[in-house]
Amino acid sequence: MFHKEGYKIILIASIILLIAVITIDKFIEIEWIRLSTSTIFLILFVLVLQFFRNPKRNTSLNEHHIIAPVDGKVVVIEEVFEPEFFKDKRLQLSIFMSPLNVHVTRYPISGNIIFSKYHPGKYLVAWHPKSSTENERTTVVVENKTVGKILYRQIAGAAARRIVNYAKKGGVVEQGSDAGFIKFGSRVDVFLPLNTKIDVVLNQKVRGGEQIIANI
């Protein structure tokens, strides 16, 4: 199953692969060169397919739990000042996605979307400390009565050039449902209340839409 944001790219990649195979078969006579070149195009096509995969995730809905919004590795757990929406101290938990991870973004909690904003910006590597405030990004805040307000931020990396954000202010969303997509390497920051109990550790790999990263 592939994410809808990849349909156009997959179609283009399929056409390129078909043209490449036909061209290679017609113009390259040396067998090992023909086979090697075809294999390279096939590998590139498979990489495109795996990047846009959208596996089904079984979310156990729970108002006390915050679940991982994306697949990846936990690279930051620290108390910081959040300057855009809260303008006070929060616990920041950041998850880095390599190009091999599933890049679907999922809502960490159920609730009402009270803030959603896109910011154009730079394309620093996603693990750079300033990427959270200087890179292309979107900021979304979801609120419910149990957890309160949770902010998550999709951040484009050095290779990413487009963030897709489905969150619209005033919308009501369900935990674990599709919130968007980031094309190619990236990261997501989650900002939590200071009294939140963190259930993951640095460098731990997490599974978006299923794994509990914190609870209130």
β-partners of residue 148 are: 144
Q: What is the pLDDT of residue 38?
A: 92
Q: What is the block-wise mean pLDDT of the chain (216 residues), using blocks of 10 residues? A: 88 94 89 92 90 90 96 96 96 91 95 95 64 81 96 80 89 97 83 96 97 95
Q: What is the pLDDT of residue 211?
A: 96
H-only helix segments in 52-201: 131-134
Q: What is the pLDDT of residue 184?
A: 66
Tracing tokens 């999922």 back to the chain, one arrives at 106
Q: What is the pLDDT of residue 126?
A: 57
Q: Are strands 178-182 and 104-106 parallel, antiparallel or unpaired?
A: antiparallel
Strand order in the sheet with 163-165: 104-106, 178-182, 163-165
Q: What is the pLDDT of residue 130?
A: 63
Q: What residues are annotated to the active site? A: 186
Q: What is the pLDDT of residue 156?
A: 83
Q: What is the pLDDT of residue 145?
A: 94
Q: Which tokens sit at 83?
A: 């300057």
Q: What is the pLDDT of residue 35?
A: 92
* Residues ≥6 apart with Cβ < 8 Å to 185: 97, 98, 99, 126, 157, 158, 159, 160
Strands (E), the chain: 65-67, 72-82, 88-97, 104-106, 111-119, 137-144, 148-156, 163-165, 172-173, 178-182, 186-192, 197-198, 205-206, 212-215
